[in-house]
Structure 1
Amino acid sequence: MATSPPSVRSGSPAASPSELPRQLGLWSAIAVLVGTTIGSGIFRSPAGIADKLPGPLPLMAVWATGGLFALCGALTLAELAGAMPRTGGYFVYIREAWGRLPAFLYGWAEFTLIRAAALGGISLTFAQYALRALGFDPAVAPYDAYAHYLAAGALILMATINVVGLKWGSLVQNVTTVAKYGGLVIIVLLAFSLGLPKTGGYFTPAVPPGSFSVSAFGLALVSVLWAFDGWGDLAKVSGEVADPRRTLPKAIVLGTLAIIAIYLLANLAYLSVLSVEEMRRAPLVAADVAQRLIGPVGVTLVSLTVLISTFGSVNGSLLTGPRIFFAMADDGLFFRQVASVHPKFQTPYIAIIMTGALGVAFVLLRSFEQLADIFVTASLVFYILSIGAIFKLRRRPDWNPPVRTPLYPLVPALFCLAVLFLLGNALMDPAQRVPTLGVFGVILLGVPVFYLTVGRKG
């Protein structure tokens, strides 16, 4: 890892030789956020959540809680991103508030765990739905293995598109976002117009005996957060957003509200057609709902929606994630070459290629459940540091954000306390304790790596 000084020091207004052009407008920025967030979670997580909370009210409550959690984070992020519209997002906020070691640990976790796990989990869901659309069962051999190879191929394709240019990646993101959001809206409308009149909905009894416990609620909330994660990804490409002080806060808040709305409506739609017990046995719940509503045509519709959704989410992750490594390298906390900008395409091509390669490695070696658990657990640690940065940064005399977090300090405090609860709940659960400690161990391994490499001059 390089130890050379960064081309732009913290807070400096000077331009970096490796600066990326600002090309994303408001709607493209919203598409990045929405498109990155709506991936596999809303189509895959409801079954596991219904298994942990087998009652309509607890099930809807955990989705609403996840939405509130995401909104608190987004409202805080709108202030941070508007005040510091720089490539890297969370990396920048952690570095500015807590210093270079915590910022390095965030980048280290992204490099070793978070980004590759996210790419692997989403691309694997894409591949499994693609095989199902072709008439093959991805749960049985040899198609279970083929799914991993197909996922790796999708990652390579999307990495290539993002290397060729931000405009191409942004175009893919805009198109897939409209398609996936529209697909979910169609499912909701069909469920309410065709399913609900026939079934009356499966909303009672609202809280059956044994359908709620604090521990189960916490574990289910982790799955909900997998579905909501992405509301912060736009911040990672802040350095490429046009008129960022106006665009970023609007895009972050509007995009997050749009996601909360469609997720709550989708779960109400599922409950309009399937009982909670049926949801528990439906890992591809949206396909089962569509099958019951309009037959095989519905399965095809949902399969296409999920394919587009996960394809767009992979693209969004490859559009945003590499910017973290780019920012780290530009600040001297990573291999200097990773901050290189392609002379023709004006993209951080080495960072994109490296991120795609990590995703391919993870998807070939891990299952979806392993990837999702790794991603959420590792991300929670740095949510606290990045959103909690607001408490320290607001003390700066030169702090001048275009918008301020409403109900401060309650909103960011609520977010951080919720994250602490989730981490504590994972450590208390015997089944999650060892994997959680394993993730912490990998993150802490970054401390000696820092002092042996880029931290020697610090």
Structure 2
Amino acid sequence: MSIKPKLSRFDLTMIVISLIIGTGIFKIPGEVALRTGTPALFFAAWVVGGLVTLCGALTFAEIGARYPNTGGFYKLFSYCYHPAFAFMINWASIIATTASVAAVSLIGAEYLNPLLLPAHMQNITGTRITTIGLVAIVYVINFLGIKMSARVQNLLTIFKVTMIVILCLAIFKSNGHTVITQAVLPGGSPIASFGLSLVAVFFTFTGYQQTINFGGDVVDARRNIPRGLLMGMSIVIAVYMAVNFAYYHVLGMGGLQQNTGLAAKMASVVFGDVGARITSVLMFISVLAYVNVNIMSVPRVFYAMADDGVLPPIFKRVNPRTQAQEFGMTFFVAAIIVILFFAGSFGEVLNYAMFFECIGLSTAAIAIFILRKRTQELDGTGIYTIKLYPLVPIFFIAVYWFVTISVFMATPHATVVCLGAFALGLAIYYLAKRR
């Protein structure tokens, strides 16, 4: 059974926002402040991050218009490079995504537990129980169909963005720098510090590339993927700039560098004593939206891999009524639950997630040059094309490789881990093909 398009441009816009805005914006600004040390570098990192991400969104908008396919991120690598390279990149990405979903779910449960569980159950066992319950709720929603998942996603995203905007109102209720603490300057050169700060910034912006996984789900994909992607990215950039300005205005650089409870401190300025509970609800909604959108997205990659014959055909099975990949979703959710019981051993996978993202995103962006040559018949048909081509994708690729080099210089052993993971994925591919 093939996948039939059911998602509108608005649905895709909400998916873009939820793929990007997770829990990172409540934590990462403190990390960026630690790595930059000055307001000028702090805001420069977010401006550059937003500009580079917009260039990436423009690049992927054209990629989505020229090559709309279910599991598009995998299909793109397979079509432009080689199926083995596609599997190698995507297998590492799926591991990182699965571990990230498990870790983010734990964060959401930790915020929710004080509101749900008695004091004696607010421990690791209680957190895991709440987390599994959270994942189970989202799993049932997705089992009801892709359209139901999209409707729930739309509501969660609208609520989440609205709450973040309300938190930004703290700038009107504060005289500035509620937390008076002297900022600490980082060691090393400013260029190295700026490069490492971009790693943290890009972590909060990453995720939008997964929208091309819905190429087979979106109505009029050649037009709606670019427009939904650009609309969603514009909203995300505006929200991020607003909330970072609010953080700085209320807490100052020293307060940001404390890197604990940033959203709770902002909420206490706006809502007073109930600020902590407001923050707990906001974090829970953010986590719920993040888990939901990944349960929607990742099984579509399984579909593409099964279509190429590197996964069993059961991963390609789609419910004709709901358009849900029931087995693919079940497998992904089961993997999340398994990781929840061994979360500590997956710390390095999470730490290196951005290494995989940098390599995956930059090589995916390079594919635009190949697609332009292979899909020349689409030129002049009204599909979206990058206005400042090839400067936009070249700028995006160059900055991502600068960030990758910065990370590798700071932690050289990451090179071995990444190459090992990629090599293992390549071996699995050829074993699967031989089978």
Q: TM-score, normalised by structure 1?
A: 0.87
Q: Is the 8 A contact 2:77 2:86 kept in 1?
A: yes
**Residue of structure 2 in register with 1:400 after alignment:** 378
**Per-residue Cα deviation, 1:17-56 (whole angstroms, up to 9, x for no partner):** x321211111111011112211111012122222222222
The change in CA–CA distance for 1:261 and 1:203 in structure 2 (over 3 A counts) is farther
For residues 449 and 35 of structure 1, the distance between their equivalents in structure 2, rounded to whole angstroms, comes to 31
Shift of residue 415 of structure 1?
A: 1.4
**Residue of structure 2 in register with 1:245 after alignment:** 222
For residues 63 and 273 of structure 1, the distance between their equivalents in structure 2, rounded to whole angstroms, comes to 18
Q: Is the 8 A contact 1:202 1:276 kept in 2?
A: no
**Residue of structure 1 in register with 2:13 after alignment:** 30
Q: Is the 8 A contact 2:299 2:328 kept in 1?
A: yes
Letter in 2 for 1:74: A
Q: Is the 8 A contact 1:202 1:271 kept in 2?
A: no
For residues 414 and 341 of structure 1, the distance between their equivalents in structure 2, rounded to whole angstroms, comes to 39
**Per-residue Cα deviation, 1:77-109 (whole angstroms, up to 9, x for no partner):** 111101111111211211111021111112322
How many percent of aligned residue pairs carry the same amino acid? 29
For residues 209 and 142 of structure 1, the distance between their equivalents in structure 2, rounded to whole angstroms, comes to 36
**Residue 409 in structure 1 maps to residue 387 in structure 2:** no
**Residue 451 in structure 1 maps to residue 430 in structure 2:** yes
Unaligned runs of 5+ in 1: 1-17
**Residue 364 in structure 1 maps to residue 346 in structure 2:** no
> Which of 377, 401, 407 is matched with 1:426 structurally?
407
> Which of 339, 351, 365 is matched with 1:387 structurally?
365
For residues 318 and 287 of structure 2, the distance between their equivalents in structure 1, rounded to whole angstroms, comes to 27
Shift of residue 205 of structure 1?
A: 10
User: What pairs with 1:50-449 in structure 2 (closer than 5 Å)?
Assistant: 50-111=33-94, 113-133=95-115, 143-188=123-168, 190-195=169-174, 198-199=175-176, 213-367=190-344, 370=348, 372-396=350-374, 398-400=376-378, 402-429=383-410, 432-449=411-428
The change in CA–CA distance for 1:373 and 1:170 in structure 2 (over 3 A counts) is same
Letter in 1 for 2:40: L
**Per-residue Cα deviation, 1:198-248 (whole angstroms, up to 9, x for no partner):** 127999999968697222222222222221112112211111001111111
The change in CA–CA distance for 1:397 and 1:265 in structure 2 (over 3 A counts) is closer
The change in CA–CA distance for 1:135 and 1:350 in structure 2 (over 3 A counts) is closer
For residues 369 and 263 of structure 1, the distance between their equivalents in structure 2, rounded to whole angstroms, comes to 26
Q: Is the 8 A contact 2:145 2:323 kept in 1?
A: yes
| SS of structure 1 residue aligned to 2:260 | coil
Shift of residue 260 of structure 1?
A: 0.7
**Per-residue Cα deviation, 1:244-295 (whole angstroms, up to 9, x for no partner):** 1111110011101110110011000011110211122233211112123432
Shift of residue 297 of structure 1?
A: 2.0
Q: Is the 8 A contact 1:124 1:148 kept in 2?
A: yes
For residues 245 and 110 of structure 2, the distance between their equivalents in structure 1, rounded to whole angstroms, comes to 25
For residues 242 and 101 of structure 1, the distance between their equivalents in structure 2, rounded to whole angstroms, comes to 30
More helix by share: 2
Letter in 2 for 1:168: M
Shift of residue 183 of structure 1?
A: 0.5
Letter in 2 for 1:444: A
Letter in 1 for 2:104: I
Q: Is the 8 A contact 1:162 1:169 kept in 2?
A: yes
For residues 393 and 342 of structure 2, the distance between their equivalents in structure 1, rounded to whole angstroms, comes to 36
**Residue of structure 2 in register with 1:13 after alignment:** none
Letter in 1 for 2:32: I
| SS of structure 2 residue aligned to 1:241 | coil
Q: Aligned-residue CA RMSD in angstroms?
A: 2.7
For residues 317 and 453 of structure 1, the distance between their equivalents in structure 2, rounded to whole angstroms, comes to 25
For residues 183 and 121 of structure 2, the distance between their equivalents in structure 1, rounded to whole angstroms, comes to 40
Q: Is the 8 A contact 2:78 2:86 kept in 1?
A: yes
> Paired residues, what number?
431
| SS of structure 2 residue aligned to 1:101 | helix
Q: Is the 8 A contact 2:113 2:130 kept in 1?
A: no
